[in-house]
Every structure is written in C-alpha cells, then in structure tokens.
Amino acid sequence: MWRKFCLLTVFLSLVAMAFFAVAATNSATEHVQRPDSLDGGLLFQNKCSMCHGSEGVGSVGVPLNLPDFLRTASDNYLYKTIRLGRPGRVMPSFQTLTDEQVNSIIRYIRSWQPEIKTPVYSSESIVGNKQKGKQIFDASCASCHRQAGIGGKGTGVTFSRPRDAEIIAPAIGNPTFLASASDHMIKQVIMTGRDSTPMISAKLMGLTEQDVDHVVSYLRSLADTNKVQVSSEPKGEPVLEFESSYTLEETINNIREAAMGYNFRYIREQTLDRGFVDEGKESNDAYLVYFCNFTFLNQVLQVDPRVGMFLPFRATILKKGDTVVVMTVNPDFLCSLFNNDELKQGCAFMSEKYAAMLEESTL
Amino acid sequence: MMKNSLLKLFPQKALVALLLSFSVFAFVFMSIPEVHADHTQKLIMGRSVEAFPETMSALQEEIKKAGYAISIVQRVDIGLTGMGFKTDKYRVVFFGKPEEIQTLPQKYPLLTPYLPLSIAIFAEEQETVLIAMSPLFLEHSYSKEHPELSAVFQRWDSDIQAIIHRVCYGDEQ
C-alpha cells in the first residue's frame, strides 16, 4: 500500500513538474523575438540598434562603435552590461537572451573594428584609500559624472541634441556598472581616457597612478550606497480618474479653461471613435481633449525623446449612465517604462499638474 | 465510483496526505520567481534605416494590414517648431479596431485613457525610430479585476511587435 502511495505521489509530482515547467518556459519566452536566433548582427538590430544606432554610433543609448571604447571594454564587461542593464539609466537588462545570444551580440560589436585587441583584465581588487578617492573624485570627476557617479544628465546622443554633442558621462557609481566593470578595467579607462569623448587621461587630469587606485577604491564602495536608490516598479495607478459634478459639455468647457490656467495650449477635442466610424455616427459618450505645454514637452524630449509617445496631454471624458468621468494616463505610473531616473521629477510634476487640473474641472 | 475505487486503493488519510503533498509541491513550484522579462518588453522599439517619410508610410500600411484603422496622426514636431523650438520630425500614430473602440470604454472605463493604441515615430538623421508602450505593461494593473483582458493585452502586444518589426526589418527572421 505504502509503495503504491509513493509511486502515485512521484507520478503526480512529475506531471505537475512537467506542467509548470512548460508553463514557465512559455511565459519566459513568449515575447522574445526570434529566441532561437544566433546571428549577432540580427540580434543587435532587433535588440540594441534602436538605442545604440544601427552601426553603434549612438542615439538614445551611448555610442559603442568607438575605438577607445572597444579597446578598454572587456567581453566580460559587455556581457554583464547586457545581462544587468543600468537601472535608472535607460539601458534595460536582457535577461531572457541565452548566453549564446549575448555572446553573438558581443562578437558582432567586436566585428566593427576587428583590428582592435579585446582586453582581458585581472579580477583582483585594487587597494586604495576610499576617503582620498572621494576627494579626488569630487575634484576631478564629479563635474561630468556628478556626485557619487550618478552619471551625466539626459540620455545619449538624442535627436534633440546635435549629433556631434559630447557623449553624456556614464553612471560609474551605478551598482550594475560596478558589477560589470572590474577594478582593473576602471583603472585602465581612467589612466588612458577615451578619445572621441570628453574623458581625458589621468595624466592630463594631473593624477598619479596611486590617485587612480584611490578613485577606483572609492567607486567600488559606492556599489552598496547607491543600490537603495534604484527602483523600476511602476508608481501609483495607471489612470488618474475624477468624477465630474457637471454634464459632459460643461466638463469639457471646464477642462479647457482649467488647462489654459495651467499654461497648457488647447489643441483640439474629438469623440473617442472619430476616424473609426462614419462621420456623423460618432458616439457622444466619450471625448478626447488635447492640450500641450510646449516648453515642458521640449524639455522632456531633450531628456528622453521616447517620452513623446504620451504627449501631448490628453483628457478622456466618458459618460457612464448619469455620471461623467474624466481620466488621463498617470505620468508617474508610466515613468518606469523608460528606466530613466532623469525623468522622475518631470513625471511627478506632470502627475500633480494633471490631477490638479482635472480636479479643478470636475469639482 | 472513482471515489470508491480510490478509497479501495488508498485509505482516506493516505489520500489526504497525497493531496497535501501535491498541493505543497505545486505551491512551491509556482512560488519560484520566473525569469524576469526584459525591460524591452515594456517598450516595443525598432529602428528603420529608411528615412522618415518612407517609414511613416510603411507604418501606416502595416497598421492597416494588421486589421487596424488609423484614427489620427498627431504632429508633435509642428507644435514645437511653431513655438520656436528646434526638433526633428516627430509624430504619434493612433490606431485601433473600430469594434474595440466602441465596446471597450463602456465595459472597462479605466482602459479608455490608453485608447486608441499608439506608436510614436521620430526621425534620427537618415534613420527613423519607432516606439510604443507594450500593452502588457498594463496587464498587471487591469487583469486582477478583469482576467479576460489578458488575452486582449497579449494580442495587442503581439500585433504591435509584428507591425514595428515588419516596418523596420521586413519579413526577415
């Protein structure tokens, strides 16, 4: 009897294991395009080119096709950067790619300049004085990399910046940068600098090799300090919603007036189904009203051009029975889409402004 | 009848133990966090090596081929240049299926601010970048109350991925 029981338990467990394993595999791979592809070029075009440019010259993401970058970035660094991304600094983490796929992408990146020898670094720690390193960092590096190495403002070479603009200083205090770059790689980059970027050599900065060791030691200590600042979870609810005390027409008028009071320019209003049904057959139960604050729009597009997908501001006015509801997307909620800490303040500001404006229109 | 035959095979206590062990196993297995999705799944992006006008035209064509209607093309750049700001070409294309635009707002009012669906398109010198929010980004917030919406989000996501992929990379694998 006991044997039968054990056998049945094992059998059912195996069935459950197979079921959940299949479910988990499907879930993990469902949205990965061409999971079986090992063509590095194709993978780069599908996964990386939209930010780094089709030939790695940079765009929303930093340029990779620079001799000095390829000369100092090890394969291990590239591998870990692809795997871990840079929380809060646009670069996403690619955790569903296989090891072979990541290595194919790295080989493709290397193929741009095959004459450049791939560097290999020791994984040994560099010993320095982190207090002295902080002083040196604050005096010589923070003007570009900012305090605690949080990185320069904005994204990469975006469409709203001139193509020959300086490359934005990387976030070298970012925990995933520090998890990707070895001490010796960081030291090498500081010692030699990087041509075609504002990063000059230690010698030109007036730093000795020992000074550089101190800086490396200081940067390494930032891994834990900066960790707590990173979060990619959506904040709040996806929609800001207010019930109106007015009729639909009155509410639309109120929104128009309130928006102007908040320095928005009225663009247009339309039924939600305009363009989807024949003219004259639109439903009057759902309206969209468009507004824009162009100064703000220009500012956020300079930080991250991708944000334009949610702009200009659009209020949805919906009639549900006797009730009129006004809604809009919540910028604070959408902010985590972009993995860009530079946007957080703007998102919070817009959420507050949208909420205040809609509340004023509906009370 | 099945209950009786099971009881003949196993005493009731054994069956309870069996059921418990199976449940514990299933619970433990389901609790293991699955591999996190790429961040890229939140955003669907693509880069076309074609210039803006050609890419815009291909985008509209692919949206229609996928069975959607285009309601409006919002010209973001026109307003900016009109205000004296310097910008390259930037548009947002709104699209949807007429029947969904007519029925979903009444059934799921809180989904309405995300309707119609949209894809932003902007020029980068001679190339063009396309970007859209993956509808799956909303799934967690909406599907708790409306599990049936999961299938809708999945379909939208897959359609938008296919549209952007075809515009940027053609039908190649």
The answer to whether B30 and A17 have CB atoms below 8 angstroms apart is no
The answer to whether A260 and A289 have CB atoms below 8 angstroms apart is no
Q: Is the pLDDT of residue B19 over 60?
A: no
Which residue of B lies nearest to A291 if distances are taken between CA atoms?
A: B79
Alpha helices in A63-192 (DSSP H): 67-72, 75-84, 99-111, 130-140, 142-145, 175-180, 183-192
The values of phi and psi at residue A216, to 5°, are -60, -45
Cβ separation B131–A50 shorter than 8 A: yes
Which residue of B lies nearest to A158 if distances are taken between CA atoms?
A: B124
Q: Is the pLDDT of residue B153 over 90?
A: yes
Over residues B53-79, mean pLDDT:
93
- Both tokens of B50, joined, read 């074609």
B46 forms beta bridges with B130
Which residues of chain B are within 8 Å of residue A335 when distances are taken between CB atoms? none
pLDDT computed for residue B11 by the predictor: 59
Q: Model ipTM?
A: 0.80
Write down the CATH superfamily of domain A26-225.
Cytochrome c-like domain (1.10.760.10)
> What residue type is assigned to position B155 of the chain?
R
Cβ separation B18–A325 shorter than 8 A: no
Nearest to A96 among B37, B98, B129 (CB): B37
Q: What is the pLDDT of residues A69-116, one digit of tens each?
A: 999 999 999 999 999 998 888 888 998 899 999 999 999 999 999 999
pLDDT computed for residue B35 by the predictor: 29
pLDDT higher for B7 or A110? A110
DSSP element (H, E) containing A266: strand A265-271
DSSP element (H, E) containing A360: helix A344-362
Q: Which of B10, B36, B47, B142 to mutate to test the interface with A (most CBs of A within 10 A)?
A: B47
Q: pTM of this prediction?
A: 0.79
Interface A–B counts its CB contacts (< 8 A) at 213
Give average pLDDT by consecutive 10-residue segment, chain A, 363 residues. Answer: 57 52 37 58 91 86 90 96 90 91 96 96 95 96 91 65 67 93 96 89 95 96 70 82 93 91 89 92 92 84 83 89 93 89 87 92 91
Cβ separation A301–B87 shorter than 8 A: yes
Q: How far is A94 from chain B (nearest CA, A)?
A: 5
Q: What is the pLDDT of residues A263-302, one digit of tens each?
A: 888 888 999 999 999 988 999 899 999 988 888 888 888 7
Q: Is the pLDDT of residue B133 over 90?
A: yes
Which residues of chain B are within 8 Å of residue A276 when distances are taken between CB atoms? 69, 71, 96, 98, 101-102, 116
Task: Give the dihedral sign, CA B162/B72/A335/A316.
Answer: negative
Write the DSSP symbol of residue A114: T
C-alpha A79/C-alpha A70 separation (Å) is: 13
Q: How far is B59 from chain A (nearest CA, A)?
A: 15
- Helices B149-169, A40-47: axis angle to 10 degrees equals 120
Which residue of B lies nearest to A281 if distances are taken between CA atoms?
A: B102
Cβ separation A93–B36 shorter than 8 A: yes
Euclidean distance between the first and final Cα of chain A, in Å?
72
A277 forms beta bridges with A274
Q: Is the pLDDT of residue B106 over 50?
A: yes
Write the DSSP symbol of residue A328: E
pLDDT computed for residue A8 by the predictor: 57
Q: How far is B11 from chain A (nearest CA, A)?
A: 9
pLDDT computed for residue A87 by the predictor: 87
Cβ separation A275–B22 shorter than 8 A: no
The answer to whether B138 and B131 have CB atoms below 8 angstroms apart is no
CATH topology of domain A2-16+232-362: TATA-Binding Protein (3.30.310)
- For A263: left if phi > 0, alpha if psi spans -120 to 50, otherwise beta; the answer is left
Matching residue, tokens 């973001």: B76
C-alpha A333/C-alpha A239 separation (Å) is: 8
Q: Which long-range contacts (CB under 8 A, 24 or more apart) does A28-37 make?
A: A28/A96, A28/B34, A28/B35, A28/B37, A29/A96, A31/B37, A31/B41, A31/B134, A31/B136, A31/B157, A31/B158, A31/B161, A32/A96, A32/A97, A32/B38, A33/B161, A33/B165, A34/B173, A35/A96, A35/A98, A37/A101, A37/B173
Q: Which of B124, B142, B143, B167 to mutate to test the interface with A (most CBs of A within 10 A)?
A: B124
Cβ separation A159–B69 shorter than 8 A: no
pLDDT computed for residue A30 by the predictor: 31
pLDDT computed for residue A12 by the predictor: 55
C-alpha A158/C-alpha A336 separation (Å) is: 19
Task: Give the dihedral sign, CA A270/A273/A278/A282.
Answer: negative
Q: What is the CA radius of gyration of chain A?
A: 26
A318 forms beta bridges with A286, A325
Q: How far is B118 from chain A (nearest CA, A)?
A: 7
Q: How far is B117 from chain A (nearest CA, A)?
A: 10
DSSP character string of A17-83: HHHHHHHHHHHHHTTSSSTT---HHHHHHHHTHHHH-TTS--SSSPP---HHHHHH--HHHHHHHHH
The answer to whether A212 and A112 have CB atoms below 8 angstroms apart is no
Q: Which of A239, A270, A284, A300 to mutate to test the interface with B (most CBs of B within 10 A)?
A: A239
Q: How far is A30 from chain B (nearest CA, A)?
A: 10
Which residues of chain B are within 8 Å of residue A237 when distances are taken between CB atoms? 141
Matching residue, tokens 């300079």: A302
C-alpha A316/C-alpha A290 separation (Å) is: 9
C-alpha A86/C-alpha B25 separation (Å) is: 36
Which residue of A lies nearest to B129 if distances are taken between CA atoms?
A: A50
Three-state DSSP string of B100-154: HHHHHHHHCHHHHHHCCEEEEEEEECCEEEEEEECCHHHHHHHHCCCCCHHHHHH
Cβ separation B40–A13 shorter than 8 A: no
Nearest to A292 among B79, B122, B138 (CB): B79
pLDDT computed for residue A185 by the predictor: 97
> What residue type is assigned to position A85 of the chain?
G
Q: Which of A276, A294, A300 to mutate to test the interface with B (most CBs of B within 10 A)?
A: A276
Cβ separation B36–A37 shorter than 8 A: no
Instruction: Please state, in angstroms and as integers, the Cα–Cα distance from residue A285 to each residue in A238, A281, B120, following that order.
Output: 22, 12, 27
Spans of all domains in chain A? 2-16+232-362, 26-225
